[in-house]
Amino acid sequence: MTMNLLEGRKLVVAVTGGVAAYKAAELVRLLGKAGAQVHVVLTRAGARFVTPVTFQALSGNPVWEDLWDARVPNNMAHIDLSRDADAIVIAPATADVIARLVHGLADDLLTTLCLARTCPLLVAPAMNRQMWEHPATRRNIGLLASDGALVLGPDAGDQACGETGMGRMLEPETLCEAVVRFLSPKPLAGRRIVMTAGPTFEAIDPVRGITNISSGKMGYALALACARAGAEVDLVSGPTGLAVPEGVRCTMVRSALQMRDAVNAVITGADVFIGVAAVADYRPDQAEEHKIKKTGDGLTLSLVPNPDILAEVAARPDAPFCVGFAAESRDLDQYATGKLRAKRLQMVVGNLVQDGLGTDDNRIVLYDADGRHPLPHASKALLADKIVEHLAGLLAAARPARSGA
């Protein structure tokens, strides 16, 4: 999680009485780490699971439990807390609290706070699977959503009661990402983006192959940044050890030919194509069915060129806005601008391999029809946001978003 994504944001995290309350402690920590100022509201049942001391230590703020809190001179904790907040996040939200919210009850601090709020409400339900599936809960969740609350999860999995099924609260990392996404500006709303990332692997035989050094970190960070900015993202990824970013549809492939097929399967109607993958330029003309045995003699491999996926997409009659990456070991300006022209791209992200290969940060320069735009040395996550910002600006000028976006 990038450090400053929630800088300046004020959040109320409300913890109600479920076993998942222990995960709320981690959520509060993560939101604080992302820069948010967090105030925790703990219901009486919530306090039976985790004490206020834990939340006070993690949030660095006093914990709110009582509608009649003597610390608030005007007795208006419910008004003051909600007026100040950018969002209220209830995690975990029990079936009971959801039912009470839906009916507009206001008999404790949390429900009063929610009724008096002017800010958005995000709700992460957590309950036993039977309670989740009960018609009353189904009805209440529908009403809560139609009242404008954003319902996050729940997930399926093991439950505290020993059963397995729907009702587990989403993991703290997922919830934190959902809050970041909810509060992020959406300059790519209504846009569909197809991307490639990672290396490709071209088999020589069942155990050997040709590949490029690429961690996939930049591509995955960019996919996440595009999704946060409101885009619908299809990521086609070569082999990496990375987790698929939240909110991104991902197809895993191995070779360049598979990558091309996977791109072609989703490219029609896309607004943007971003080629981040380090595609192998050549592949063995045919992979051996069985492992090649050592003979002690030299070995000559016969290679054939792979298709240039980016150039093919850019040459389509319905070509989307195309962005390429140029990783060079020298003469970056010359090679990057050469690619911009030769492949008919609208933007190229260039970097010197010695600055960013496999690492968490990088130094990059953006190239477009207006020239070169160097960005300061930064983490790949932060650079991804900067690339999105630049891309969104170019895109808005070149192809205004469809109405309704």
| Residues near ligand C5P, by CB under 6 A | 196, 256, 275-277, 279, 306, 308-310, 324-326, 339
C-beta separation of 110 from 90 below 8 A: yes
Q: From CA 351, how far away is CA 336, in angstroms rounded?
A: 9
Pairing mode, strands 87-93 and 10-15: parallel
Smallest gap, in angstroms, from Cβ of residue 349 to ligand C5P? 8
Residue nearest to ligand C5P (CB): 275
Of 293 and 330, nearer to ligand C5P (C-beta) is 330
Q: Which residues have a Cβ under 8 Å from the Cβ of 53 and sit 6 or more positions away? A: none
Q: Which is nearer to ligand C5P, 36 or 223 (CB)?
A: 223
Q: In terms of CB distance, is 125 or 219 closer to ligand C5P?
A: 219
On the 0-12 / 13-18 / 19+ scale of CB atoms within 10 A, 239 is middle
With contact defined as beta carbons under 8 Å apart, do 315 and 345 qualify?
Answer: no
Pairing of strands 303-305, 282-284: antiparallel
Q: How far is the CB of 245 from ligand C5P (least distance, A)?
A: 18
CA–CA distance, 351 with 327 (Å, rounded to integer): 5
| Cβ-based nearer residue to ligand C5P, 17 or 275 | 275
Provide the minimum distance between the beta carbon of 391 and ligand C5P in the complex, in angstroms, as a whole number. 14
Q: Residues in the chain, how many?
A: 405
Q: How far is the CB of 337 from ligand C5P (least distance, A)?
A: 13
Catalytic residues: 161
Q: What sign results for the dihedral spanned by CA atoms 43, 45, 49, 52?
A: positive
